[in-house]
Amino acid sequence: MTVLRLILLCFAIVLAVAVIYAGLAAGALFAVWFLDGGLALLWTGAGIGLGLWLMRLVRLETAGSLRYATAGGLGLGVLALAVLGLGLAGWLSRPSLGLLAIAGLCGWLPVLREIDAITIREAMRRRPTGWAIWLVPAVVLGVALVAVAIPPGILWNSLGDPHAYDVLEYHLQVPREWYELGRIVPLKHNAFSYFPFGMEMHFLAMMHLAGGPWAGMYAAQFMSLAHMVLAALAIHGITVAVLAHRGIGTKGSDTSRAVMAAAVAVTAFVAVPWTVLLGTIAYNEAGLLLYAALAIAWTIRQETTSRQWIMGGAFAGLACGCKYTGVPMMLILWPLALLGSGQWQTAKLKRIVLYCAVGMATFSPWLVRNLIWTGNPVFPEATRLLGRAHFSEGQVQRWEAAHTVSEKQRPVAARLEAFGREVFADGRYGYVFWPLAIAAIIYLWRRREARTLAVFILLLAVFWLGVTHVQSRFYVVAVVPAAILIGILCGIISSQWWIFGVAAASLVLAAPLFHGALWPAAQFQAFGLYDLSRFDEAIKTRCESGRKLALVGDARAFLYVMPMANLRYRTVFDVDQKPGQGLVDAWLGSNAAAIRGEYQIVEDRGELLRFSRTYRNISFLP
């Protein structure tokens, strides 16, 4: 099996998976791949090209998969911040973003000049060791490429995490509003608009380049997939680099061992169901995983220079810019893992300080934005310490209660039980992934890099138990160091095939999870459908009525394919109910009487009742 034949075989597997799920709608599926996927590919290519240019500028040298993963993360991170700056200035448009993309693509020109047709031909004729390993990622990629072409809000709803609601409430909805407004502004009816939106900046860019919010929503999903693929590429590069530091992969048969080990690390990563679930929707975890992997890549090896620590810190800050939880994870826990493992002491402490300073610098645009908007750089977090802006005391209490562990789960025993249920026994992690990772930790504990990764995994567990509201998804960052450990284990031991077998078994065990959710969604044959209201007859009727609508109890505004000028909504955290005031009037806001006269009120009584039972300072008074 040559490299060329392996590539063709993997391509055939991807097409076979697509045809199996799409059936007669395969043509529509391939159209989404070509049009929306092509747009996302051009934007991602621009990011990689920009990153390659920046790496040459700062003289940052690396090779192989880590080079392109680093370039992709660096370039896409810079593009996201550029979109933020243009949006705040009111200069976002298709021409301005098109110029950014063209400039980024020009970064490929030096690479194209380096291409040697003879070298490529020889590379395609090579016989890769352990080629069968790549068949598992090919199957996963086929599943992912089907999933990204399914309309937002339709897929993965049965798997126990509020993907659809979050996507329709703010991951796509906030960029939609900024697109229609023509600039990035605070949205007091949507508290999530104050979050760092590193991933959502790409979603906003897709909307501008595609010509509308719904025209760009599939490209937005492809951007999540692009970040997850780059994360897998980074894991491949880290594994090769760590093994090379140990003298494995530098010559002879060791090269085959390192290549196979890196392939196993990638397989372990992509075979975790959470990787597919989060990489095929317009969410922010894909960016968090990519930047976390790159921060690890540039700081884990002993021989790192100050320039490499600066690069690692930049990626840590970009991780924070995707999700607030990136701050403790990458600016506190990862440095502690580096120190706690005994790897960096005394003199190297200065580099950790440098890493954190650079991380805060690349995260700072989001802090400055919120500081100007609200006076609190991390609003709506830390409101008691840094200011609550327009939130009332009741809203502060509601936010805090909703984003901390419940009273029932506060005892240590209850949290440990939740960890076992939400992590070890959760099929979304694959039932063999964690046992294999634990085996790698035990076997590799005496090795510096492996011990650092193991300590990081343990610190993430402590953080998950002590700070988060114990949801399975909040531990997903630990999949990155665990997959690297599995790959290192494969490179260290003499027999690797059994590890590949176990990693592949995780995909087999996850297959019912994927299939059970993907097959029913694919049978709608709605690939590339842009009118989301067609999935709900009541919503479709309301949109077609031409009337102005005010949603009460429902913040899934992205389902309503109509101008925002004719639509009002509010998230539950933006409701300030006064004593004796009805919840509907509180939801409509201070000018409730005027809204009742101008808008058709769409009331979701079921949600209002649920909110009144589960959220603080809300009372449903019929």
Asked if 3 and 130 touch (Cβ cutoff 8 Å), the reply is: no
The angle that helices 217-245 and 285-297 make with each other, rounded to 10 degrees, is: 20
Residue 355 scores a pLDDT above 70: yes
Nearest residue to 144 (alpha-carbon basis) of 274, 233, 268, 35: 274
- pLDDT for 103-150, tens place per residue? 999 999 988 887 766 767 777 777 777 777 888 899 999 999 999 999
Separation of alpha carbons 508 and 243, rounded Å: 28
Q: What is the mean pLDDT of residues 595-602?
A: 92
- pLDDT for 553-563, tens place per residue? 999 999 999 99
Helices H, strands E: what count in the chain?
30, 3
* Assigned token pair, 470: 């114990």
Mean pLDDT of the chain: 89
Separation of alpha carbons 385 and 380, rounded Å: 11
Q: What is the mean pLDDT of residues 346-372?
A: 92
Residue 574 scores a pLDDT above 90: yes
- pLDDT for 11-51, tens place per residue? 999 999 999 999 989 999 999 999 999 999 999 999 999 99
pLDDT of residue 523: 83
CA 228 from centre of chain: 7
pLDDT of residue 95: 96
Residue 1 scores a pLDDT above 90: no
Q: What is the mean pLDDT of residues 254-276?
A: 85
Residue 510 scores a pLDDT above 90: no
pLDDT band at 500 (very low <50, low <70, confident <90, very high): low
pLDDT of residue 246: 66
Residue 622 scores a pLDDT above 60: no
- In the chain, domain spans: 3-402, 532-614
Separation of alpha carbons 341 and 583, rounded Å: 53
pLDDT of residue 498: 67
Half-sphere exposure of residue 60: CA atoms within 13 angstroms, side-chain side? 23
- pLDDT for 195-241, tens place per residue? 999 999 999 999 999 999 999 999 999 999 999 999 999 999 999 88
pLDDT of residue 131: 78
pLDDT band at 254 (very low <50, low <70, confident <90, very high): low
Asked if 178 and 184 touch (Cβ cutoff 8 Å), the reply is: yes
pLDDT band at 345 (very low <50, low <70, confident <90, very high): low
Entry pTM? 0.95
The β-bridge partners of 600 are 549
Amino acid at 585: D
